[in-house]
Structure 1
Amino acid sequence: MSALPSKGDLRKTALDARDAMEVAARAAASEKLGARGLPFEVAAGAVVSGYSPIRSELDPVPLMQKLAAQGAKLALPAILGRGKSLVFRAWLPGDRLTMGPLGILEPSPAAAGLIPDIMLVPLAAFDGLGHRIGYGAGHYDFTLAHLRKLKPITAIGLAFAAQEIKAVPALAHDVSLDYVLTEKKAFDFRNL
Structure 2
Amino acid sequence: MSSASSKGDLRTAALARRDALGDEQRAAASEAIAKRGLPLAIKPGAVVAGYSPIRSEIDPVPLMRTLAAQGVQLALPAVTARGKSLVFRAWSPGDRLMLGSLGILEPSPAAAELVPDVMVVPLAAFDRGGHRIGYGAGHYDVTLAHLRKVKAITAIGLAFAVQEIKAVPMQPHDVALDYVLTEKQAFDFRSS
TM range, smaller chain: over 0.9
Structure 1: which amino acid aligns with 2:91?
Answer: W
In structure 2, the residue matched to 1:139 is: 139
Alignment of 1:179 with 2:179, yes or no, is yes
CA deviation after TM superposition for structure 1 residue 39, in Å = 1.1
CA deviation after TM superposition for structure 1 residue 84, in Å = 0.6
Aligned-partner Cα distance in 1 for 2:119–2:178: 10
Structure 2 residue runs without a partner (length 5+): none
TM-score normalised to the size of structure 2? 0.97
* Structure 1 vs Structure 2 CA RMSD: 1.2
- Aligned to 2:166, the other structure's residue is in SS state coil
In structure 1, the residue matched to 2:158 is: 158
- Aligned to 1:76, the other structure's residue is in SS state strand
In structure 1, the residue matched to 2:189 is: 189
CA deviation after TM superposition for structure 1 residue 54, in Å = 0.3
In structure 2, the residue matched to 1:63 is: 63
Aligned-partner Cα distance in 2 for 1:159–1:37: 14
Aligned-partner Cα distance in 1 for 2:42–2:119: 12
Aligned-partner Cα distance in 1 for 2:95–2:73: 14
Structure 2: which amino acid aligns with 1:142?
Answer: V
TM-score normalised to the size of structure 1? 0.97
In structure 2, the residue matched to 1:17 is: 17
Aligned-partner Cα distance in 2 for 1:122–1:47: 17
Structure 2: which amino acid aligns with 1:26?
Answer: R
CA deviation after TM superposition for structure 1 residue 3, in Å = 8.1
Structure 1: which amino acid aligns with 2:68?
Answer: A
Matches within 5 A, 1:47-86: 47-86=47-86
Deviation per residue, 1:125-180 (Å, 9 max, x gap) = 00000000000000000000000000000000000000000000011110000000
Aligned-partner Cα distance in 2 for 1:146–1:72: 23
Matches within 5 A, 1:92-131: 92-131=92-131
Percent identical among aligned pairs is: 73
Aligned-partner Cα distance in 2 for 1:3–1:32: 37
